[in-house]
């Protein structure tokens, strides 16, 4: 009874700038259909009409589609590798680093990066660019208020140093917040920043089609500095990374293939 999904995707692209064709179709369609029926609609057309009229519904839908689950130091063993091997390698080349947390969700990832970098640098030398397509996730990130659960993997000394308990939540300190610049960015549409020494992009490409991953990996290659590193999620190892002129340096970490060995 839902009707023409292709037309819905086209209309939604015009409305939101989000191209649903780049997301795995079965998974995406199932989620959308369930949202639509929960909201009491039986066709894509009537649901789309409501989206155009009701900003709250629109925001709720974007928020639902983008799946904002995150936590501090997600998959801690990979952050150990980042601390013990990748950051010392990067600091061999430069005393400051250009760091980009792409698809940063509600801020746990870029704030984790700042705390980790504070072991190597003074806070006033740390700048992390943090981007996401979902502006309400970015708003929450800027607010910096977190549940105890999202702090599970955070070292205790970071909690006592950089968080204040307010009722049942934990508020991150202004000095950590000041090191992060949040911006809206669609990985499938917008221009990428250049000369990044470290790109952290985790737990978003799992939702993308192969065509979408193709676009993103090529762009990441272009975005990395000569010795830059890409850090991916724990289920996101890049198959045939050579195709994107990326090579693994450790599991979940890739660097650009040097120009003189380009294929
Ligand atoms: C599951 S969260 C991952 C958060 C964090 N990177 C982590 O690993 O904990 C996925 C994030 O990807 C974002 N996202 C989805 N599509 C995107 C796109 N096309 N461009 C940028 N961000 C996108 C969502 O808004 C969401 O915040």
Fold of 76-261: Rossmann fold (3.40.50)
pLDDT tens, position by position, 118-137: 999 999 999 999 999 999 99
Is the model's pLDDT at 263 over the cut of 80?
Answer: no
Q: What is the pLDDT of residue 258?
A: 77
Centroid of ligand 1 to alpha carbon of 109 (angstroms): 11
Q: What is the pLDDT of residue 1?
A: 72
> How confident is the prediction for the chain on average, in pLDDT?
95
Q: What is the pLDDT of residue 259?
A: 65
Largest CA distance in the chain: 60
Pocket test for ligand 1, best of 22, 131, 133 (most atoms within 8 A of CB): 133
Q: Where are the domains of the chain?
A: 5-66, 76-261
- Nearest CA to 22 out of 213, 174, 231 is that of 213
3-state helix/strand/coil string of 226-241? EEEEEEECCCCCCCCH
Q: What is the pLDDT of residue 2?
A: 79
φ and ψ at 68, to 5 degrees? -90, 15
Rounded distance between C-alpha atoms, residue 256 and residue 249, angstroms? 10
Centroid of ligand 1 to alpha carbon of 161 (angstroms): 28
Q: What is the pLDDT of residue 260?
A: 55
Q: What is the pLDDT of residue 203?
A: 97
E strands, the chain, where? 99-102, 128-132, 145-147, 163-166, 169-172, 180-184, 196-201, 224-232, 246-250, 253-256
Is the model's pLDDT at 261 over the cut of 70?
Answer: no
pLDDT tens, position by position, 82-104: 999 999 999 999 999 999 999 99
Tokens representing 80 are: 């150990």
Give the nearest ligand 1 atom to 233 CA. 8
Tokens representing 143 are: 């607010």
Look up the pTM and report it.
0.95
Rounded distance between C-alpha atoms, residue 90 and residue 231, angstroms? 13
Centroid of ligand 1 to alpha carbon of 107 (angstroms): 11
Question: 189: alpha, beta or left, given left = phi > 0 and alpha = psi -120 to 50?
Answer: alpha
pLDDT tens, position by position, 137-177: 999 999 999 999 999 999 999 999 999 999 999 999 999 99
């Amino acid at each position: 009874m839902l009707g023409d999904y292709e037309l819905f995707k086209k209309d939604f692209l015009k409305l939101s700038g989000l191209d649903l064709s780049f997301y795995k179709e079965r998974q995406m369609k199932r989620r959308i259909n369930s949202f639509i029926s929960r909201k009491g609609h039986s066709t894509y057309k009537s649901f789309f009409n409501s989206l155009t009229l009701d900003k709250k519904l629109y925001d709720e839908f974007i928020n639902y589609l983008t799946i904002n689950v995150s936590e501090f130091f997600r998959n801690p063993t990979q952050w150990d590798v980042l601390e013990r091997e990748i950051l010392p390698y990067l600091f061999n080349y430069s005393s400051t680093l250009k760091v980009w947390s792409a698809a940063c969700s509600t801020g746990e990832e870029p704030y984790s990066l700042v705390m980790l970098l504070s072991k190597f640098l003074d806070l006033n030398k740390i700048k992390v660019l943090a981007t996401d397509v979902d502006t309400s996730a970015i708003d929450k990130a800027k607010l910096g208020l977190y549940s105890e659960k999202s702090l599970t993997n955070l070292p205790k000394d970071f909690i006592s140093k950089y968080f204040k308990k307010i009722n049942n939540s934990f508020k991150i300190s202004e000095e950590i917040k000041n090191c992060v610049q949040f911006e809206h960015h669609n990985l499938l549409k917008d221009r990428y920043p250049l000369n990044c020494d470290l790109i952290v992009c985790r737990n978003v490409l799992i939702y993308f089609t192969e065509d979408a991953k193709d676009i993103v990996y090529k762009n990441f290659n272009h975005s990395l500095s000569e010795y830059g590193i890409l850090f991916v999620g724990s289920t996101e190892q890049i198959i045939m990374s050579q195709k994107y002129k990326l090579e693994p340096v450790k599991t979940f970490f890739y660097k650009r293939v040097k120009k003189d060995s380009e294929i």
